[in-house]
Chains A and B, each alone.
Chain A
């Protein structure tokens, strides 16, 4: 009756209108048209309609863009009925079943995908569990952020952080207004009389404020009370560490209040500490550090900590301590130039180098996970291309895009859960392995475990990564091009070329990432080799070190007795037929903390205080150098007549002689010891070869050697050079001691080889881990290279067959395939080298003997990657050369 509006304009409008308002708009326009036909006739109505229609769509779209949708909230059009909860659940279950069937149908693919993910997740979970325990877990004390370490400083001598002198510590404790508690600790040892052999226990001497500052609650008994460190207080009290309580006293609570015999005297046990690190394991026993009447300000012995009072900021505390320090500096001549610095407690558990090493490892596993993800994405992409027909079919049968994506997500989530679970299994194994290979200087390693939160995090990460990697291929379903997809299947669907390009890019990323890891591992391996090859200065073969603790010297007469006993022991050992040489030293090689003294030449102008060089010192018996195979460069070794400080005579290391008297003879010269402190002048009687005897990674030390003879130092470390197995000497020494000094234990038995091994254990640990990680990364990257190339070769069979039919030689086909396969590898190599150059600066401090831009490492790694990638390319290339022309053509 009213007629139909112009068809073409309607068709255009229908196309341009947003779907949500399309019907409404067409209805309204049609009605307007009908009204106009009735009023003005068909021609005018047609003109009106044609003018309104195109603008209509634009206007509506603009309105939607600027003001939101136009649909009333009550009737949003739906294309299919919304699923309620249980229906949605049913479809998810169906998708999961579908995913499971797809996995079973293609077991090789699924196994590789799951395992790839498991490797990434497992490595991450394991290393993260270490990082979390060692670096992130808070200290086992209340409000750890209020704990600080306190140092003395002497800016004029260039000391930023020095231990405290006794007197300065007590004064700072009394005068500061910033700390709610302050404490100091120093270390010693004592003999515990046991059933068979006496045992040497380490003692931490702490002020009463120490445990209070930490806020330690004892497991049993109490901690030290105020005043128990004053002269006149009962000195014979002791707190047990949790370890000693467990190993020696079977966790018997009734030990509190009883006496134990230590160093021949009875001590009352007043408490037991909780387990943990740091500080709580600083000694087997804790005893009060006594506050004497005349404390000195010259010898820096105490490690100090404090707890900031509530509401006191670090900056305010620093200002307060500056005030205290300047007051002390003006009051006491020995404290001239004194300062006090504080540092947060962050570094208490892990040293800087350990932190650095752990973060490097954490980044490495992060890289590994990335590589695993890239690999997984690559595999899923390859498979999704193969399954386009299947998805197109589902779309054609009415599945919405959401449903198709949901199915894909269900599949990859299944992969993720499986991969995560297996990865966690791997992580459990790796953590056990790590704990078994404990290099000894990673704190809390024994506490590392995979626990609930970590489990959840790891599974979450696995799920997330698998879903994200699975999403990309799912979204590539050619939803709008169903017919083409159905017809052409996987052959030449639009975007296939792009897919191949994308996969190539993913391979480049994998190669780049694994190159960076390999460079890191390579640098560490080279460092490790360098450190083992370094000229240590001493010999290691058939040499053993052990500590002997003789009865402690209380006075000068005791000290003489102790020294005589030491000399007697040394002589007896040296007399044994299987012993070549024996000597004793105050502090063993590569062990313990460095002793230090400033030194200067008496006959040269003294350098300013802050330019005084610093030397480590050791007390040694005659023959120490011979026992370790160190040459006497000039002068002589000590003999029995050289006694400590009577008069001062020293042997110095070659580097000191070169520093103080370059090009001259140092023998007979006067050297000032403890320059800037008590300043003793000594005659140089000998020059010994340089040794790296504190840390192999340090330069050979400036070393000053002082006669052990006459010193009441305890314990002594004996060094014995034997003809046969060095540790066989230890039982003989024990029986010798049973005769000479029955209460004296032998402890810390190590061959020099073992000491060298232990001193590089942390490096070995980091190196092996990084090497293992990069090996896995390399493997994954190679799998990626192989996967992409073999897929592309299989898709180009026809083309290759044609080329060969038209006369292409096998070698030209090989070149073609190789060049295609190696292109992403080369791109990855270049990117990776650039990345490695940039990232290596973060591990510069872990290196020794190589620079971070060590060319052989980079070249070696690049060669390794290129060679293995060539191999990975060769296999598909060989397949390509074997293409049978007829078969290939028939496939088309």
Chain B
């Protein structure tokens, strides 16, 4: 699993995690992605992506104690790592370089 480039969906998950303050559980990320894209997002896909990101060192996770009143166990909380932040910045720069100064694709208005 030495693949370094982020897949598009993984990229989205990372950005959503960043928007949630760099620290979140899986369920809020699903909602965040849904509101950003306007489409239904598979909870399973997010579940898998978060764990793959963790295995590659871009995120860390910890099992949070259940808060009073929540019942059962708490779910796993993910934290973006500095490696993850570097990776995001790097891919952003790559995108910007590729886009260049001009705007070759007319955005639908």
Chain A positions within 8 Å of B, measured between CB atoms, are 1, 21, 23-25, 27-32, 34-35, 39, 52, 55-56, 58-60, 63, 67-68, 70-73, 75
CA distance A70 to B45 in the complex (A): 12
The closest CB in chain B to the CB of A39 belongs to B31
Interface string of B7-25 (1 = CB under 8 A from A): 0000000000000000001
B17 to chain A, nearest CB (A): 14
The closest CB in chain B to the CB of A31 belongs to B27
Consensus secondary structure, chain A interface: helix
Known: A32-B30, A70-B48, A72-B54. A24 touches B43 (CB 8 A): no
A346 to chain B, nearest CB (A): 50
B57 to chain A, nearest CB (A): 11
Q: Chain A contacts of B76 at CB under 8 A?
A: 24, 27-28
CA distance A34 to B74 in the complex (A): 12
B48 touches A60 (CB 8 A): yes
The closest CB in chain A to the CB of B30 belongs to A32
CA distance A52 to B31 in the complex (A): 14
Interface centre among A30, A31, A67, A71 (most CB of B within 10 A): A31
A31 touches B75 (CB 8 A): yes
A59 touches B44 (CB 8 A): yes
**B42 proximal to A (CB < 8 A):** yes
B44-74 with Cβ < 8 A to chain A: 44-45, 47-48, 51-52, 54-55, 61, 63, 69, 72-74
A27 touches B73 (CB 8 A): yes
Chain B positions within 8 Å of A, measured between CB atoms, are 1, 25-28, 30-31, 42-45, 47-48, 51-52, 54-55, 61, 63, 69, 72-76
A72 touches B44 (CB 8 A): no
A35 touches B31 (CB 8 A): yes
B85 to chain A, nearest CB (A): 19
**28 A-B contact pairs sorted by A residue (CB < 8 Å):** A21-B51, A24-B75, A27-B73, A27-B74, A27-B75, A28-B25, A29-B43, A30-B75, A31-B25, A32-B27, A32-B30, A35-B28, A39-B31, A52-B42, A55-B44, A56-B44, A56-B47, A60-B47, A63-B48, A63-B52, A67-B1, A67-B52, A70-B52, A71-B51, A72-B54, A72-B55, A72-B61, A75-B63
CA distance A67 to B51 in the complex (A): 11
Q: Chain B contacts of A34 at CB under 8 A?
A: 27
A32 touches B73 (CB 8 A): no
Add 6 more A-B contacts to A35-B31, A60-B44, A67-B52 (CB < 8 A): A28-B26, A31-B25, A31-B27, A68-B1, A70-B55, A72-B55
Q: Chain B contacts of A52 at CB under 8 A?
A: 42-44
Counting from the closest, the 5 A-B pairs by CB-CB distance are A59-B44, A32-B27, A27-B75, A31-B27, A56-B44
The closest CB in chain A to the CB of B25 belongs to A31
A32 touches B48 (CB 8 A): no
Name the one of B26, B51, B61 contacting A32, with C-beta atoms under 8 angstroms: B26
Name the one of B26, B42, B54, B74 contacting A55, with C-beta atoms under 8 angstroms: B42
A47 to chain B, nearest CB (A): 11
B28 to chain A, nearest CB (A): 7
CA distance A40 to B26 in the complex (A): 18
Q: Chain A contacts of B73 at CB under 8 A?
A: 23, 27
Interface centre among B27, B44, B73 (most CB of A within 10 A): B44
Name the one of A1, A21, A59, A71 contacting B69, with C-beta atoms under 8 angstroms: A1
Q: Chain A contacts of B48 at CB under 8 A?
A: 59-60, 63, 70
